[in-house]
Chain A
């Protein structure tokens, strides 16, 4: 059986034409509006309360819509946006260093390896400046200069200082800003907040998204919830790898359920693997912790020259060390982009030169920096990171070089959306990391926070009006056949999971699935590996449904049952990721196919054949998906090969 079939290309993305700097303004003007008096007659469901979902729910409520918000955590403040460290980009040009909206647009398209939609990226760069204003007005305590103005820094190798930050906790502070705006609307009665609720199905009525099926995680009660439009802001799917820098609860269920109901899933194989994470310490490992990328500004990356050299790093003389990034990339050295640094680390470990448990680690050494700047200066810059490292590993990085290894960090793929952030199901909008749109095949540092807040504060609240202008739509309730069926599907599925009563835990399956994905759909992919992975995933999925053990019932708090449902969806997603990676016969951004590299081992794009978004349509379980291509046009930023030598 073929792995997929090809359908019609995507004809209309609703992206406007004309000069790129006028497109967003014109589009907003041409979009329909909703009369303020009518807004309160309409309900919008928002799933997820991270930067995108929290800011969207607050803003829609401020505009006068009735909002119902859902999150699986015990409070909307806990969404995983909170863990973002580095900062948020904005084209303010406060430094007078040559930055502009156009430059941020240009850098983002190029950084995405020419696999994103120009119109969307330009809009993102335009609204980036409003985000900073908005967050400052909310009281977000950004870092400031002595004169009282905002401080910025350069991040991830950018040549301009456009990154705003709040120490190493920028995500936390931005999220709390959005959360407080949301709580204000909750207090005013404009948002109905449902924490500890998980969306398990989308309700589609007459071709339109009209509601969701949710489970109250405390009581186990399953209800159907209705609205005039549904917004998914449920984050990325990095946890398909089991080990990632995502929170334990991050999952694909909301978007995957919507995919099964007709929303196309775009570019699922684009995953970002971050080079500086603390390595795995044993089989018990439950998640990976990111160490800020800024460490590469002063740390030197090396491994022993000889295979299997397990001497104490201090005893390895200088000429027996391989500072491989400095050797291979003399001009960028330790500051090469994330994907390149990650792949290089894997390569030296594959050669048997890795360090630490299992040989899966490389040294990040601060001895030179301490010698050059003094321990005090290093402490001032990185003290909190060194402390965190020591807490987790029990090793003192002032004395012993840190060990780092790449880990899954972010997913650029997601549900396909048009310029209005609407999916292929009318009335279903997708924002933040859950959609596919703005980062192409690779996301730049400090751009995830920018996109989440751009979508939630400024884009969606404008574009959703064009859809809602035709509303309020005919009332539906739980007796509608589509709602009853969706609800029954959820109940059946939970019963099936509980009924297996096999001999393996959910986590054991998740771990094994993650290993398959890491080995074959991780930093480097090959045709043979991906084909093998697809077979293994299918076999393991069958095992899962025969052998998983979920105790208890669905009547109350049952964390194993929650996990089981999420892992079941990861199994289906994993297969599509591998098929997407297999069909994309090129290397671009976070997708590296070993068969497609230049003579010196760099990613080789194939613009002639693959300059498109791969949007996948679900057909039926076990049946091939249908590929729809959205052709990408580059009118402003002309594709070039990246080079960091």
Chain B
């Protein structure tokens, strides 16, 4: 199939950036979306033009490194699918496809389709863990976890940190990402001691990083390639409310 691509090109953070049109012919429907970009890049290199920079690594939908707006949709038109797992058979011969980076204040563009998502790491560093230094763990079976809680925790833990939720959100909010981790850890008995300090720390880090607020639009969960449910945000809000009530100026609570 033959395609017209309109790709966001930006040499660096200072550059204003622009859409540039490329024609790519002889695309196989069996190619993944990123393989189609590989083909374009090979041709650009041979033509002496700078190839399009984009992030990717595992190419099997689990590392969370790839991500781009494809026709205005985070990771493209197929539900529950990362850009690396999207295949060209989802498109038609003659299509024009717009490809842009994630756009959010908290994710500045590095180059072309590559953005800086280190704000996500800062949110985790601010409390997205259970303190359990190596060697200090009790025997694994000393603390049973009801299967329903373990399964729900797993569902939230499936987040790959790709940032599609932020890119899809009209507010550029990272609330689904933050809520997924809070939900996972607050559902487990191991996560209880730090439950309320965690939510305060993570939400503060989220806000400081320049993410917008959540207005329950729900675009995030639709764009999420792993289907993280929206009700995780409800859990975050409840924990946050409890935490601020409990805190009431008491240190260490």
Taking Cβ atoms with an 8 Å cutoff, the residues of A that contact B are: 55, 58-59, 62, 73-78, 80, 82-83, 92, 94, 130, 132-134, 136-139, 141-150, 166-167, 169, 172-173, 176, 179-181, 183-184, 186-187, 193, 195, 218, 245, 247-249, 281-282, 284-287, 289-290, 388, 391-394, 457-458, 461, 503, 505, 507-508, 549, 551-552, 556-557, 559-560
Closest Cβ neighbor of B81 among chain A residues = A391
Q: Are A284 and B62 in contact (CB under 8 A)?
A: no
Shortest beta-carbon distance, B230 to chain A, in Å?
A: 20
User: Can you report 29 residue pairs joining A to B where beta carbons are below 8 Å apart?
Assistant: A62-B133, A74-B117, A77-B124, A82-B62, A82-B63, A130-B135, A134-B132, A134-B135, A137-B137, A137-B190, A141-B150, A141-B154, A144-B147, A148-B145, A148-B147, A150-B140, A176-B157, A180-B130, A181-B134, A247-B59, A281-B28, A284-B30, A284-B38, A286-B35, A391-B85, A394-B30, A394-B87, A461-B134, A559-B51
Do A148 and B111 contact each other (CB < 8 Å), given the known contacts A75-B161, A551-B45, A551-B48? no
Shortest beta-carbon distance, A136 to chain B, in Å?
A: 4
Q: In whole angstroms, what is the CA distance A31 to B91 when docked?
A: 62
Q: Are A457 and B134 in contact (CB under 8 A)?
A: yes
Q: Which residues of B contact A176 (CB under 8 A)?
A: 157
Q: Which residues of A contact B158 (CB under 8 A)?
A: 169, 172
Residue from the list B87, B111, B120, B136 in contact with A392, Cβ < 8 A: B87
Chain B: residues with Cβ within 8 Å of the partner, total of 79
Q: Are A136 and B63 in contact (CB under 8 A)?
A: no
Asked whether any CB of chain A lies closer than 8 Å to the CB of B128, the reply is yes
Q: In whole angstroms, what is the CA distance A144 to B152 when docked?
A: 12
Q: Are B190 and A139 in contact (CB under 8 A)?
A: yes
Residue from the list A139, A147, A247, A392 in contact with B188, Cβ < 8 A: A139
Do A167 and B154 contact each other (CB < 8 Å), given the known contacts A58-B134, A141-B188, A559-B51? yes
Q: Are A507 and B129 in contact (CB under 8 A)?
A: no
Q: In whole angstroms, what is the CA distance A249 to B29 when docked?
A: 25
Closest Cβ neighbor of B136 among chain A residues = A137
Q: Which of B197-238 contact A (CB under 8 A)?
A: none
Q: Which of B109-136 contact A (CB under 8 A)?
A: 110-111, 114, 116-118, 120-121, 124-126, 128-136
Q: Which of B16-63 contact A (CB under 8 A)?
A: 28-32, 34-36, 38-39, 42, 45-46, 48-51, 53, 55-63
Do A549 and B129 contact each other (CB < 8 Å), given the known contacts A133-B137, A559-B53? no
Q: In whole angstroms, what is the CA distance A392 to B86 when docked?
A: 8
Q: In whole angstroms, what is the CA distance A556 to B15 when docked?
A: 13
Do A83 and B140 contact each other (CB < 8 Å), given the known contacts A187-B126, A218-B110? no
Q: Are A549 and B143 in contact (CB under 8 A)?
A: no
Q: Which residues of A contact B131 (CB under 8 A)?
A: 184
Q: Which residues of B contact A247 (CB under 8 A)?
A: 57-59, 63
Q: Are A74 and B116 in contact (CB under 8 A)?
A: yes
Counting chain B CB atoms within 10 Å of each CB, the highest count among A75, A147, A149 belongs to: A75
Q: Are A145 and B147 in contact (CB under 8 A)?
A: yes
Asked whether any CB of chain A lies closer than 8 Å to the CB of B165, the reply is no
Q: In whole angstroms, what is the CA distance A58 to B129 when docked?
A: 12
Q: Which residues of B contact A62 (CB under 8 A)?
A: 133-134
Q: Are A134 and B134 in contact (CB under 8 A)?
A: yes
Asked whether any CB of chain A lies closer than 8 Å to the CB of B245, the reply is no
Q: Which residues of B contact A148 (CB under 8 A)?
A: 144-147, 150
Do A394 and B62 contact each other (CB < 8 Å), given the known contacts A133-B139, A139-B191, A461-B134? no
Q: Mark B70-108, 1 if CB is under 8 A from A, else 0.
A: 000000001001000101010000000000000000000
Do A75 and B138 contact each other (CB < 8 Å), given the known contacts A82-B62, A282-B31, A394-B89? no
Counting chain B CB atoms within 10 Å of each CB, the highest count among A77, A80, A394 belongs to: A77
Shortest beta-carbon distance, B199 to chain A, in Å?
A: 15
Q: Are B144 and A147 in contact (CB under 8 A)?
A: yes
Closest Cβ neighbor of B43 among chain A residues = A505
Asked whether any CB of chain A lies closer than 8 Å to the CB of B178, the reply is no
Q: Are A391 and B63 in contact (CB under 8 A)?
A: no
Q: Are B63 and A73 in contact (CB under 8 A)?
A: yes
Residue from the list A58, A133, A183, A284 in contact with B128, Cβ < 8 A: A183
Q: Which residues of A contact B136 (CB under 8 A)?
A: 137
Q: Are A74 and B28 in contact (CB under 8 A)?
A: no
Q: Which residues of A contact B78 (CB under 8 A)?
A: 391
Q: Are A180 and B154 in contact (CB under 8 A)?
A: no
Asked whether any CB of chain A lies closer than 8 Å to the CB of B64, the reply is yes
Residue from the list B32, B38, B118, B147 in contact with A75, Cβ < 8 A: B118
Q: Which residues of B contact A145 (CB under 8 A)?
A: 147
Q: In whole angstroms, what is the CA distance A77 to B36 when docked?
A: 26
Shortest beta-carbon distance, A93 to chain B, in Å?
A: 12
Shortest beta-carbon distance, B60 to chain A, in Å?
A: 5
Q: Are B137 and A130 in contact (CB under 8 A)?
A: yes
Q: Which residues of B contact A137 (CB under 8 A)?
A: 130, 132, 136-138, 190
Q: Are B117 and A75 in contact (CB under 8 A)?
A: yes
Q: Are B154 and A560 in contact (CB under 8 A)?
A: no
Q: Are A144 and B150 in contact (CB under 8 A)?
A: yes
Counting chain B CB atoms within 10 Å of each CB, the highest count among A82, A137, A180 belongs to: A137
Q: Are B30 and A281 in contact (CB under 8 A)?
A: yes
Residue from the list A76, A169, A503 in contact with B46, Cβ < 8 A: A503
Q: Are A75 and B157 in contact (CB under 8 A)?
A: no
Shortest beta-carbon distance, A257 to chain B, in Å?
A: 21
Shortest beta-carbon distance, A56 to chain B, in Å?
A: 10
Q: Are B133 and A142 in contact (CB under 8 A)?
A: no
Q: Which residues of A contact B45 (CB under 8 A)?
A: 505, 549, 551, 560
Q: Which residues of A contact B60 (CB under 8 A)?
A: 83, 245, 287, 289-290
Q: Are A180 and B140 in contact (CB under 8 A)?
A: no
Q: Are A138 and B132 in contact (CB under 8 A)?
A: yes
Q: Which residues of A contact B121 (CB under 8 A)?
A: 75-77, 183, 186, 193, 195
Q: Are B85 and A507 in contact (CB under 8 A)?
A: no
Residue from the list B12, B30, B129, B140 in contact with A181, Cβ < 8 A: B129
Closest Cβ neighbor of B134 among chain A residues = A59
Q: Which residues of A contact B141 (CB under 8 A)?
A: 94, 149-150
Do A83 and B58 contact each other (CB < 8 Å), given the known contacts A138-B190, A187-B125, A391-B81? yes
Do A136 and B64 contact each other (CB < 8 Å), given the known contacts A457-B134, A505-B45? no
Residue from the list B30, B59, B63, B138 in contact with A133, Cβ < 8 A: B138
Q: Which residues of B contact A55 (CB under 8 A)?
A: 134
Q: In whole angstroms, what is the CA distance A167 to B53 when docked?
A: 34
Q: Are A141 and B153 in contact (CB under 8 A)?
A: yes
Q: Which residues of B contact A195 (CB under 8 A)?
A: 118, 121
Q: Which residues of A contact B64 (CB under 8 A)?
A: 77-78
Do A73 and B53 contact each other (CB < 8 Å), given the known contacts A284-B28, A560-B45? no
Q: Which residues of A contact B30 (CB under 8 A)?
A: 281-282, 284, 393-394
Closest Cβ neighbor of A507 among chain B residues = B42
Closest Cβ neighbor of B31 among chain A residues = A284
